[in-house]
Amino acid sequence: MIPLRPILPHLRGSLKSPLPSLMAIAHHAGVLCKPPLHRLPVRSRVAWIVLTVLTAAWVADRSRHDDAVAPENIAAVDPFVPEVGVAASIPYFAQSYINPPGHTASSHCSVLCALPSGDLLAVWYGGSREGAADVAVYTSRLKKGAPTWTPPVVAVDRVMAQNELDRYIKKVGNAVIFPDRLGKLWMVYVTVSVGGWSGCSLNLKISDDDGHTWGKSRRLTLNPFLNLSSLVRNKPIYASDGRIGLPVYHEMAVKYPQILWLTPGANGGVQDYRMRSLPEKPGLIQPTLVALDDDRVLMMMRDVGAQRKLRTAFSNDNGWTWSATGESGLPNPDSAVDALRLRDGRILLAYNDAARGRENLRLAISSDDGVTWTPGATLERADNLEFSYPYLAEDSYGRIHLTYTWQRKRIKHLEFNLAWLDGNARSIDAAVSQ
């Protein structure tokens, strides 16, 4: 017998309330704080699967019947980084490493934020290996005019998250940072209490001093069944009404992209948040969003299926509803990408130019809002090594910054301008691994 009868009263209450009795559901299902799924008893395993299916059905139904109002006037470029300089006509290119050699055995999943002060703040996670209990989320700063990055600082680790959230935390993972209109810096990061990445939850920390210090973590409740399986990777888009559209994704059982719409409060922090799921796009995760003109937004997605093609979709209502997915004409080896709209209107893409493996990292440019792409400079290439998870930002002077995972050992930072980008539009091995 499937052990659903004890759960049904809690499920009925869950569907009527946005914040259900999650602990009660987990207790009756017999899945809370259990071993991985393949080690569970049959009855608990079936209950877990049923809850997963119900979660997917719930988010799909809620997206179809959402009564919220669509956002308006998405900013095409980062509204919090003012343009204060004219792009230089002389090509410029520089490369460095953010974390020192041997800082952690493994480093992965970097993001970058250009701050209004002119500083750059990088965030990534590192430890003995991905998913280990000793993994921490680190920050490092490149101060305006400084030649080197500051030593890495722990922003949050498993023990800190556990104390702040008042719940058991098995590990921490992906994090993103971004500013709001009040000048505060937000960090949304992943924690896992049970299982692997598909059993994760999202949490929010806010900084009042450009990431020098961080406030207490707040857990975001995003679905009614155990609040599991939402992850984050890429930068948000900004609506004129103050809402922030953060691209996230679901991984348990069925993988699909989502957008988490965050409403900042008048005095800082999050006032409200609402998930918009796209379950009709299965097998596609880690969406990256690019705001275009005339209420349009481009979405590019990692393909975890067999075809391994970089997928795209378009929105004509500022990211509220989306077209069917199409092919970009570029490969994707089940790996993250990032895209950035430049101040001249073109879109820059960083990606792995292969259907299998992450042994190269390349740029591509689109001049028609992501419909077609011209492959550009190959930045890294080496057999049996990994160069992955790129993240792009543009500073006030029009310089482009790219961080990425370098051989899983370090986080690498490239800095270049449009003159270099256009001069190396079709070059191979524009940068040499060091």
When pLDDT is averaged across residues 51-62 and rounded to a whole number, the result is 59
- Give SS3 for 359: coil
Residue 431 pLDDT exceeds 90: no
* b/e code 48-85 from CB counts within 10 Å (16+ = b): bebbbebbbebbbebbeeeeeebbeebebebebbeeee
Q: Of 88 and 427, which is predicted with more confidence?
A: 88
- Helix, strand counts (H, E) of the chain: 5, 25
Q: Is 175 helix (H, G, I), strand (E, B) or coil?
A: strand
pLDDT surpassing 90 at residue 113: yes
More confident residue, 8 or 215: 215
Check if the beta carbon of residue 434 is closer than 8 Å to that of residue 387.
Answer: no
- pLDDT at 282 exceeding the cut of 50: yes
pLDDT for the residue numbered 252: 83
pLDDT digits (tens, 9 = 90+) for 333-359: 999 999 999 988 999 999 999 999 999
Provide the whole-model pTM.
Answer: 0.84
Instruction: Give mean pLDDT, residues 33-39.
Output: 44
pLDDT of residue 62: 54
For 8, 29, 333, 355, the CA distances from 34, given in Å and listed in that order, are 21, 11, 32, 36
167-190 core/surface letters (b: 16 or more CB in 10 A; e: else):
eebbbbbbbbbbbbeeebbbbbbb
Q: Which amino acid is at 334?
A: D
Question: What integer pLDDT is reported at residue 69 of this predicted model?
Answer: 80
| Number of other residues whose CB lies within 10 A of the CB of residue 331 | 17
Look over the chain and give the mean of its residue pLDDT values, rounded to a whole number.
85
Q: CA-CA distance, 271 to 426, in Å (whole number)? A: 46
**Model confidence at 31: pLDDT above 50:** no
Give the confidence band of 220 by pLDDT, cuts at 50, 70, 90.
very high
What secondary structure does DSSP assign to 414-430, as a single string? EEE-HHHHHHTTT-SSS
Question: What domains does the chain contain, in order, with CATH numbers?
Answer: 8-64 (no CATH), 93-423 (2.120.10.10)
What is the predicted pLDDT for the residue at 320?
93
pLDDT at 60 over 90: no
The mean pLDDT value for 360-367 works out to 97
**Is the pLDDT assigned to residue 403 strictly greater than 60?**
yes
* Rg of the chain on CA atoms, in Å: 21
* pLDDT, position 398: 87
The predicted pLDDT at position 380 comes to: 97
The count of other CB atoms within 10 Å of the CB of residue 371 is 13
Please return the burial class of 342, using the count of CB atoms within 10 Å of its CB with bins 0-12, 13-18 and 19+. Answer: middle
Say what the pLDDT of residue 194 is. 87
- Look at residue 22 and tell me whether its pLDDT is greater than 50: no
| pLDDT band at 12; cut points 50, 70, 90 | very low
